[in-house]
């Protein structure tokens, strides 16, 4: 059964032991059973894009070097990466489309359960789309903005408007390269066409369109999801909360919300506070209703409601193992089908809600935005009814929780850094220019049983802040950082270099800033654009002393995110390599040559300390190119050349 987790938070360690004792299989067991994994798949050189195949290229050069159609390793590996990006971009962008639909519905229907919660942000987005705002009702503006956003998915002419948030130099470069996204769905459709048998064979040309797809995600679908979620659910403000499995409370009816889209979870968060439902829970023998989040749904309701986080992606089964979860409520993305078997070992009901994501054996309560409160109420009542079915003898909830601060945005980082009355990135830029701060890094993404759970996330982040690199985080890395105490201001004094410590002390922020969910990586793009706009650090993102990383990545969304950061000019480090090492040419292109074209490139390094040091070396290279002052304080780490 599952191995010991050496670096994971204590609650996960306890629960994995419980899983072993009770012989309940989790993701770690299934990973062990899957060994050895297919070498062709790992190297990215198998193809099943047509039924003459499947074909595979011999990585040692002794066997076939071409598929039946004649495609070589470069073509096959690049097409496989392209299709991963298409899927990742589709997932994020479909999320954005759903939020835009909900905004339109809220704007058109005065009786909707949703309303515009941030009219100021709505007006800023309206300006970008060229929607008139003066002397207009907020609903009219919202309807026009939602329609403009929805139009960007399938439009046949023009460009995705949010690209205009990028620095002018970057926009110009994209135009020259021909990779400015024209429409979101269109770019995804085109890469699926090009990767069909017998279309695009040139690996560089396949990657060129893959960058366009990824940009349509980062500066399109994901940015729409983030911006319109802020409009609809309110822009997050930094707030205090707690994280880890200890937030599950045995005295309460526990509902765990898991997935990605905030349309349902936000309503659940609100409806769960209803007096009537809490009284029902009390009648059932509980003290009330307790909501906890997993994955990016957790991040969404954490940032806006301060709802506690139960865990990251690899804790979804561990939450059920407490025996105290009445309903595991899922929407879309990062849901392990294995949840069904684990919930069957307990009284827990697995409830699916999206017509896009059903799981055999789960109860399906379909969520409709036009009946949001009604559906949320039904789900909560299902959980209350299930409370009586608990086996009280079989409950085991680890005690561990950690305090954190979450909910920074491109705008609120602005306010915090500049002080309440001085909204500016100036102090950040000045800190970098003066050598108090070395630079910034975005550390994001999933966890994967192919690495020690959380080791890479935590070691990398600590190494960066130790060297005066401020870290922004999203997704499951943000949750891991929260569980390990890195999202508290005090973490600066424990782990950060002196320069970063001074900034954190002056402003009262943690050295690691929680910026939200996976689609909120678009907030990082906005932060980078704002730093450029503030001045003094070059005129393009590729000149900034910054780097990105997803040390324990696993999802196709992570590949799309990585590619839009590379195409935006960012050095992007991931742990285990992309599945393309069977193509030497593609490897050389993505990790080296592509930098000459777009200013960013991919890097792979499994050792998190070495990976962080490579990021720091890159940051130092950018500092030298900008002729910035030497670092103010003695360096904790002497970068390798």
d(CA 586, CA 81): 10
Task: Classify 622 as helix, strand or coil.
Answer: helix
Q: Convert 445-514 into a string of H (helix), E (strand) and C (coil).
A: CCCCCCCCCCHHHHHHHHHHHHCCEEEEECHHHHHHHHHCCCCCCCHHHHHCCHHHHHHHHHHCCCCEEE
The DSSP annotation for 210-258 comes to HHHHHHHIIIIIHHHHHHHHHHHH-----EEEEESGGGS-TTSEEEEEE
Choose between 166 and 444: whose C-beta lies nearer to ligand MSK: 444
Closest approach of Cβ 576 to ligand MSK, in Å?
A: 14
φ, ψ of residue 36 in degrees (nearest 5)? -80, 145
Give whichever of 49 and 343 is closer to ligand SF4, judged by the CB atom: 49
Q: Coil, helix or strand for 607?
A: coil
Query: Which lies closer to ligand SF4 via its Cβ, residue 68 or residue 505?
Result: 68
**Interface positions, 330-349, toward ligand SF4 (CB under 6 A):** none
> Which of 248, 264, 432, 446 lies at the binding interface for ligand MSK (CB under 6 A)?
446
Longest CA–CA separation in the chain, Å:
73
Out of ligand MSK, ligand SF4, none, what residue 334 binds, judged by CB under 5 to 8 A for its kind, is ligand MSK
Q: Which is nearer to ligand SF4, 49 or 348 (CB)?
A: 49
Which one, 53 or 306, has the nearer CB to ligand SF4?
53
CA–CA distance from 160 to each of 166, 563, 598, 636 (Å)?
Answer: 12, 17, 19, 43
Helices (H) and strands (E) in the chain, counts: 27, 16
**Under rule CB under 6 A, residue 334 binds ligand MSK:** yes
* 245, 315 Cβ separation under 8 angstroms: yes
Query: Is residue 628 involved in binding ligand SF4 (CB under 6 A)?
Result: no
Least CB distance from residue 553 to ligand SF4, whole Å?
25
Q: What's the N-to-C CA distance of the chain in angstroms?
A: 43
Of 541, 591, 529, nearest to 568 (Cα)? 541
> Where does residue 120 rank: exposed (0-12), middle (13-18), buried (19+ CB within 10 A)?
exposed
Please give the Cα distance from 436 to 240 (Å, whole number): 27
Q: How far is the CB of 98 from ligand MSK (least distance, A)?
A: 15
Instruction: Report what 259 binds from ligand MSK, ligand SF4, none; CB cut-off 5-8 Å by kind.
Output: none
Q: Residue 349 CB, nearest distance to ligand MSK (Å)?
A: 22
Pick between residue 76 and residue 465 the one whose CB is nearest to ligand SF4: 76
Interaction residues for ligand MSK, span 536-555 (CB under 6 A): 555
CB of residue 466 vs ligand SF4: minimum separation in angstroms? 47
Residue 222 within binding range of ligand MSK, rule CB under 6 A: no
Could you identify the residue written with the tokens 């054996």? 361
Judged by CB under 6 A, the chain residues 45 through 84 that form the site for ligand SF4 are 47-50, 52-55, 67-69, 71, 76
Q: In the bound complex, what is the minimum distance in angstroms from residue 296's beta carbon to ligand MSK? A: 4
User: Which option in ligand MSK, ligand SF4, none does residue 52 bind, with CB closer than 5 to 8 A by kind?
Assistant: ligand SF4
- 6 contacts which partner out of ligand MSK, ligand SF4, none, CB within 5 to 8 A by kind? none
Among ligand MSK, ligand SF4, none, what does residue 313 contact (CB within 5–8 Å per kind)? ligand MSK
Report what 476 binds from ligand SF4, ligand MSK, none; CB cut-off 5-8 Å by kind: ligand MSK
Instruction: Note whether 199 binds ligand SF4 by CB under 6 A.
Output: no
DSSP codes, 96-158: HHHHHHHHHHHHH-TT-S---S-HHHHHHHHHHHT---TT--HHHHHHHHHHHHHHHHH-SSS
Is 295 an interacting residue with respect to ligand MSK (CB under 6 A)?
A: yes
> Which of ligand SF4, ligand MSK, none interacts with 445 (beta carbon under 5 to 8 A by kind)?
ligand MSK
For the CA atoms of 30, 31, 36, 40, the dihedral, rounded to the nearest 10 degrees, stands at 110
Residue 45 CB, nearest distance to ligand SF4 (Å)? 10
492 binds, among ligand SF4, ligand MSK, none (CB under 5 to 8 A by kind): none
CA distance linking residue 8 with residue 12, whole number of Å? 6
The residues in 259-278 that bind ligand MSK, with binding defined as CB under 6 A, are 260
Residue closer to ligand SF4 by CB (options 49, 93) is 49
In the bound state with ligand MSK, the residue whose beta carbon lies nearer, of 100 and 518, is: 518
Among 309, 441, 518, 537, which residue sits at the site for ligand MSK (rule: CB under 6 A)?
518
Strands 571-574 and 601-604 turn out to be parallel
CB of 285 to ligand MSK, least distance (A): 33
Which does residue 54 bind out of ligand SF4, ligand MSK, none, counting CB within 5 to 8 angstroms by kind?
Answer: ligand SF4
For residue 475, state whether it binds ligand MSK (rule: CB under 6 A): yes
Q: How far apart are alpha carbons 246 and 310 in whole angstroms?
A: 7
Q: CB-wise, 75 or 409, nearer to ligand SF4?
A: 75
Whether the Cβ atoms of residue 190 and residue 209 lie closer than 8 Å to each other: yes
What's the CA gap between 561 and 162, in Å, rounded?
Answer: 16
**Alpha carbon separation from 598 to 182, 548, 594, 608 (Å, rounded):** 18, 15, 6, 26
Structure tokens at 90: 């589709």
Give yes or no for a contact between 253 and 279, defined as CB atoms under 8 angstroms apart.
no
Closest approach of ligand MSK to the CB of residue 259, in Å: 8
Contact residues for 236 (Cβ-Cβ < 8 A; gap 6+): 230, 303, 304, 406, 407, 408, 409, 412, 516
Pairwise CA distance, residues 306 & 240, whole Å = 7
The only residue of 11, 256, 476, 487 in contact with ligand MSK, by rule CB under 6 A: 476
Instruction: Identify what 47 binds: ligand MSK, ligand SF4, none; CB under 5 to 8 Å per kind.
Output: ligand SF4
225 binding ligand MSK? (CB under 6 A): no
Instruction: Among 19, 55, 107, 296, indicate the residue that binds ligand MSK (CB under 6 A).
Output: 296
Which one, 246 or 551, has the nearer CB to ligand MSK?
551
Q: Which is nearer to ligand MSK, 332 or 586 (CB)?
A: 332
Please choose which of ligand MSK, ligand SF4, none residue 197 contacts, taking the beta carbon within 5 to 8 angstroms, the exact cut-off set by kind.
ligand SF4
Nearest to 410 by CA among 516, 325, 495: 516
Q: Which of 557, 618, 622, 623 binds ligand MSK (CB under 6 A)?
A: 557
Are 81 and 580 in contact, with CB atoms under 8 Å apart? Answer: yes
By the criterion CB under 6 A, which residues form the site for ligand MSK? 260, 295-296, 313, 334, 445-446, 475-476, 517-518, 555, 557
Give the binding site for ligand SF4 (CB under 6 A).
Answer: 47-50, 52-55, 67-69, 71, 76, 197
């Amino acid at each position: 059964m599952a191995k010991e987790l050496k670096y994971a938070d204590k609650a996960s360690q306890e629960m994995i032991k419980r899983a072993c004792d009770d012989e309940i299989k989790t993701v770690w067991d299934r990973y062990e059973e899957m060994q050895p994994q297919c070498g062709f798949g790992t190297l990215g050189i198998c193809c099943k894009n047509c039924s003459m195949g499947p074909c595979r290229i011999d990585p040692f050069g002794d066997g076939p070097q071409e598929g039946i159609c004649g495609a070589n390793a470069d073509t096959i590996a690049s097409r496989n990466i392209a299709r991963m990006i298409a899927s990742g971009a589709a997932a994020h962008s479909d999320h954005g489309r759903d939020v835009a639909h909900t905004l339109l519905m809220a704007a058109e229907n005065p009786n909707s359960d949703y309303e515009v919660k941030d009219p100021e942000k709505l007006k800023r987005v309206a300006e970008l789309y060229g929607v008139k705002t003066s002397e207009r009702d907020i609903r009219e503006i919202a309807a026009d903005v939602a329609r403009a956003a929805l139009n960007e998915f399938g439009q046949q002419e023009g460009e995705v408007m949010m690209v205009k948030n990028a620095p002018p130099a970057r926009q110009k470069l994209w135009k020259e390269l021909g990779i400015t996204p024209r429409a979101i769905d269109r770019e995804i459709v085109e890469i699926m066409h090009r990767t069909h048998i017998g279309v695009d064979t040139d690996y560089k040309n396949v990657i060129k369109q893959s960058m366009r797809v990824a940009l349509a995600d980062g500066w399109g679908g994901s940015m729409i999801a983030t911006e319109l979620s802020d409009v609809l659910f309110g822009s997050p403000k930094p707030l205090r909360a707690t994280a880890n499995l200890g937030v599950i409370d045995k005295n309460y009816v526990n509902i765990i919300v898991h997935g990605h889209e905030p349309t349902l979870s936000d309503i659940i968060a609100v409806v769960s506070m209803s007096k009537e439902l809490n009284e029902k829970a009390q009648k059932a023998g509980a003290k009330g209703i307790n909501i906890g989040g997993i994955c990016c749904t957790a991040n969404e309701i954490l940032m806006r409601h301060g709802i506690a986080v139960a865990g990251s992606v690899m804790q979804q089964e561990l939450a059920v193992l407490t025996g105290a979860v009445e309903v595991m409520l899922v929407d879309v993305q990062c849901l392990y089908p294995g949840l069904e078997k684990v919930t069957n070992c307990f009284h827990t009901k697995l409830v699916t809600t999206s017509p896009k994501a059903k799981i055999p054996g789960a109860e399906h309560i379909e969520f409709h935005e036009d009946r949001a409160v009604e559906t949320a109420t039904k789900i909560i009542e299902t959980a209350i009814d299930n409370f009586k079915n608990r086996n009280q003898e079989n409950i085991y909830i680890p005690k561990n929780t950690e305090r954190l601060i979450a909910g920074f945005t491109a705008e609120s980082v602005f306010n915090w850094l500049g002080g309440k009355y001085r909204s500016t990135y100036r102090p950040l830029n000045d800190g970098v220019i003066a050598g108090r701060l070395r630079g910034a890094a975005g550390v994001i993404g999933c966890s994967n049983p192919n690495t020690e759970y959380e080791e890479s996330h935590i070691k990398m982040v600590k190494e960066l802040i130790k060297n005066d690199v401020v870290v922004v985080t999203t997704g499951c890395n943000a949750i891991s950082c929260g569980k390990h105490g890195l999202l508290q201001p005090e973490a600066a004094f424990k782990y950060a270099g002196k320069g970063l410590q001074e900034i954190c002390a002056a402003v009262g922020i943690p050295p690691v800033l929680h910026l939200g969910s996976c689609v909120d990586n678009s907030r990082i793009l906005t932060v980078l654009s704002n730093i450029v706009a503030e001045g003094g650090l070059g005129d393009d993102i590729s000149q900034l002393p910054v780097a990105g990383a997803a040390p324990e990545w696993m999802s196709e969304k992570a590949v799309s995110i990585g590619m839009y950061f590379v195409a935006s000019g960012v050095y992007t480090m991931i742990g285990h390599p992309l599945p393309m090492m069977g193509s030497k040419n593609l490897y050389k292109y993505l990790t080296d040559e592509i930098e000459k074209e777009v200013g960013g490139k991919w890097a792979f390094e499994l050792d998190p300390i070495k990976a962080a040091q490579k990021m720091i070396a890159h940051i130092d290279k950018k500092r030298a190119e900008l002729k910035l002052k030497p670092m103010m304080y003695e360096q904790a780490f002497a970068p390798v050349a």
